[in-house]
Homo-oligomer: A and B are copies of this chain.
Amino acid sequence: MQRCAFKTLALDYKVIFFDAYGVLKNYRGMTPGIHATFEYLTEHNIDFFVLTNDASRSPTQLADVYQRAGITRITEDKVVSSGMLARDYLRYKVRTGVIAYLGTPASAHYIETMGLQAISVRDLDLDQADTVNALVLLDDEGFDWNNDINKAVNLLRLRNIPVIVANTDASYPVSRGQIAVSIGAVADLIERVIRRTFIRFGKPEAQMFNFAFEHVQKYRQVAKTDILMVGDTLATDIMGGNHFGIDTALVLTGNTLPHMADILIESTGIVPDFICDSAVI
Contacts and interface: CB of A to CB of B under 8 A. Distances in A.
A279 to B, nearest CB: 21
Given A180-B150, A207-B210, A162 B192 contact: no
B205 A242 contact: no
B194 A245 contact: no
A199 B271 CA distance: 12
Given A145-B145, A263-B263, A196 B268 contact: yes
Interface residues of A, number: 60
Contacts of A8: none
Interface stretch (A12-20, A38-46, A171-179): A171-179
B266 A160 contact: yes
Contact of A93 (B145, B146, B245): B245
Given A144-B146, A263-B263, A269-B156, A188 B199 contact: no
A157 interface: yes
Interface of A: 88-89, 91-93, 144-146, 149-150, 153-154, 156-158, 160-163, 170-171, 177-181, 185-186, 188-190, 192-199, 205-207, 210, 224-225, 235, 239, 242-246, 263, 265-271
